[in-house]
Structure 1
Amino acid sequence: MDCLFFRHGIAIERQNWNGLEEDRPLTDQGAARTKESGKGLLKLRLRPTHILSSPLTRAHETAVILQSLIRSKPKIRICTELDPAAAPRALFSLLDALPADAVVLCVGHEPHLSLAAGILLTGKPCSGLSLKKAGACLMHIEESVKPAAGRLEWWLTAGQLRALA
């Protein structure tokens, strides 16, 4: 399985938002940069078969933008396992239930995604790993999804992804 962790794009700043935190949306610039990052992903010949998204608005908006770029238009599945308050390991059983040849795009938040990536790589959370907004990393998992079962293929910032577009 290939598992692509993608952090949501730039959202409205907390201090400029009067609504609920989970409803905080992307900015226009965040949406545009997310689209450009997504175009960079396509240059890497990634063809997601599944899209999993955090239930928070900014992540779901990011997932919709990325879905629009994918020719096969995989359905977006909202998953509480990608909520920033969820335990990073909760994502593993969800991923493990997917086909072994799946290419899974997980759209979520920091530090949740980098904690999950660290656990997949080493068996425990790793300091120093962090996804920038609209940045991504690709993990390859050969067999079952469990701690220390992942292999890092790449880790790219939004700027690096946009440069590929």
Structure 2
Amino acid sequence: MGERWRAVGVLAIALFAVNVVARLVIRFGFDGDDTAEARVSLGMFVAIGLILAGVAFTWGRQRPVARWAGEVATAIGIALGLTVLIGPLVTGSNPFAGGSATFFAQIAFYLVATTAGVFLGYLLLTALGLDHRSRSLKRYAETSAAKPRRIVRR
């Protein structure tokens, strides 16, 4: 049980670390340049999506969706809370400095990026037939085809 929570914690901290790095790059490298800030933010969301696509691809091979989806959702929720509430404090800002529209836009963008990443990773895994369910069905088909045919007497 502890191993599951360790993986969730590491994933949440990794997602938060990507956000902190992007915030620090914006603050020290592009302070005041809105187009550069938008590009760095877009890069951050792409990086978060790719991380989650890789996690979905890796965890989807090993375990059924019902098991790993909750863990990924928990990690995303923790990382979202850290990103929205603690992330601005790291760079010396207030989480609500931009107003409620900016606060909720951050949440919406984060959820879209994370959901897209997880879905793309799992869809790629499923399309390749490497997910847990496809492999289980393949093993079942192989074992049922390997049994000799039973003779039925009438």
Q: TM-score, normalised by structure 2?
A: 0.29
- The structure with the greater share of residues assigned to strand is 1
- The structure with the greater share of residues assigned to helix is 2
Q: Which has the larger radius of gyration?
A: 2
Q: TM-score, normalised by structure 1?
A: 0.27
